[in-house]
Amino acid sequence: MRGVVMYAPGDVRVEERGEPRIVEPSDAVIRVAATCVCGSDLWPYRGVEELRRPTPMGHEYVGVVEEVGAAVERVRVGDFVVGSFFASDNTCDICRAGFQSRCVHAVPMGGIGTQAERARVPLADGTLVRVPGEPTPEQIRHLLAASDVLGTGWFAADAAEVGPGKSVAVVGDGAVGLLGVLAARELGAERIIAMSRHPERQALARKFGATDLVTERGDEGVARIKELTGGLGAHSVIEAVGTQQSMEQAIRSTRPGGHLGYVGVAHDVKLDGMELFFAEIHLLGGPAPVRRFLPDLIDRIMRDEITPGDVFDLTLPLAEAAEGYRAMDERRATKVLLTL
């Protein structure tokens, strides 16, 4: 089968890879219906994360089950399924507490590479969630978003304890930040402040439910958030970038006693203990346990209540994955969907 392999920063190729097969009895093999390029795929693409060898890419996927191992009970051949970027047993203490991305048996799907025609999915019973009915092509786009960026934005909003009557500030206007806005709307936030200076992303933020836009960054951005929240800062802040500046901006935008959900992978970030201490805010972040939210997200999508796939602003066949990476790297695209 064909799949995406990154050879070096800037060097992405689509080439023949071995056919995936059942390795463990708890595995499934799926035929990928759609996959996409993640903001985090840009870290090695830009040389920020080291690449030691040619590496299969991709960890977002929806598709149809083609084969299951002997121990698989809940997933059947022919099921249309959604999984996320960590395979998880969904039965250990950590999974049952809702943190499947830290499952004691977690397997990173990025190590398998789902930008491909087929993929092996470990712990299939725990990892894969069946979609009821036959998704339309549009619904497939939305379900693919649920696989990572929607699930991650939703987790950030949940971690930030977004809810009715609350103000929410969203730092980051990438796909995750934008879907954090959508999650905040769905969770009933009263005021949703998106921080963006990019006209097209601002428009999508508005569509997803942003009530206010802030174009300032750093201290000025924080000052604007405070102006909009009675001088106190937002009840809930979503951080979806992962830099020193974005984390500081997010911490300082949260009111004392408020909640910050951070999902940007924190590269070269050092948090000052004294600042954090006196900020006196709740923090929760990390790789999103998307699995926790998938059943609910799939239901909302199949009822046509949410359209998270709107973040895909460029669609290319898998064979043109290299152009997809380039477009995201150059910020010509927010999020690239790869068709199969």
Q: Identify which of 15, 306, 24, 18 has the alpha carbon closest to the alpha carbon of residue 179.
A: 306
- Given the complex with a second copy, which of 8 and 97 has the nearer CB atom? 97
Q: Which stretch binds a second copy (CB under 8 A): 109-117, 179-187, 202-210, 283-291?
A: 283-291
Exactly one of 36, 140, 250, 279 binds a second copy (CB under 8 A); that residue is 279
Q: What is the SS3 assignment for 293? A: helix
Those residues with Cβ within 8 angstroms of residue 277's Cβ, 6 or more apart along the chain or in another chain: none
Whether 269 contacts 243, CB under 8 Å: yes
Question: Which residues are 107's β-sheet partners?
Answer: 87
Buried b / exposed e along 23-39 (16+ C-beta atoms within 10 A): eeebbbbbebbbbbbbb
Q: Smallest distance, Å, CB 301 to a second copy?
A: 26
Whether 116 contacts 300, CB under 8 Å: no
**Site residues (CB under 8 A) for a second copy, limited to 173-232:** 230-232
- Residue 271 interacting with a second copy (CB under 8 A): yes
Exactly one of 16, 165, 277, 330 binds a second copy (CB under 8 A); that residue is 277
Whether 294 contacts 271, CB under 8 Å: no
Q: Smallest distance, Å, CB 47 to a second copy?
A: 17
**Site residues (CB under 8 A) for a second copy, limited to 47-106:** 93-94, 97-99, 101-102, 104
- Residue 153 interacting with a second copy (CB under 8 A): no
Exactly one of 269, 302, 322, 340 binds a second copy (CB under 8 A); that residue is 269
Count interface residues toward a second copy (CB under 8 A).
41
- Given the complex with a second copy, which of 195 and 279 has the nearer CB atom? 279
How far apart CA 321 and CA 331 sit, in angstroms, is: 15
**Site residues (CB under 8 A) for a second copy, limited to 229-268:** 230-232, 242, 244, 247, 255-257, 262, 265-268
Those residues with Cβ within 8 angstroms of residue 87's Cβ, 6 or more apart along the chain or in another chain: 103, 106, 107, 108, 109, 121, 122, 123, 126, 127
- Residue 335 interacting with a second copy (CB under 8 A): no
Whether 68 contacts 124, CB under 8 Å: yes
Q: Smallest distance, Å, CB 201 to a second copy?
A: 24
Exactly one of 284, 302, 322, 340 binds a second copy (CB under 8 A); that residue is 284
How far apart CA 179 and CA 295 sit, in angstroms, is: 17
Exactly one of 172, 287, 308, 324 binds a second copy (CB under 8 A); that residue is 287
Which parts of this chain interact with a second copy (CB under 8 A)?
A: 93-94, 97-99, 101-102, 104, 230-232, 242, 244, 247, 255-257, 262, 265-274, 276-287, 289
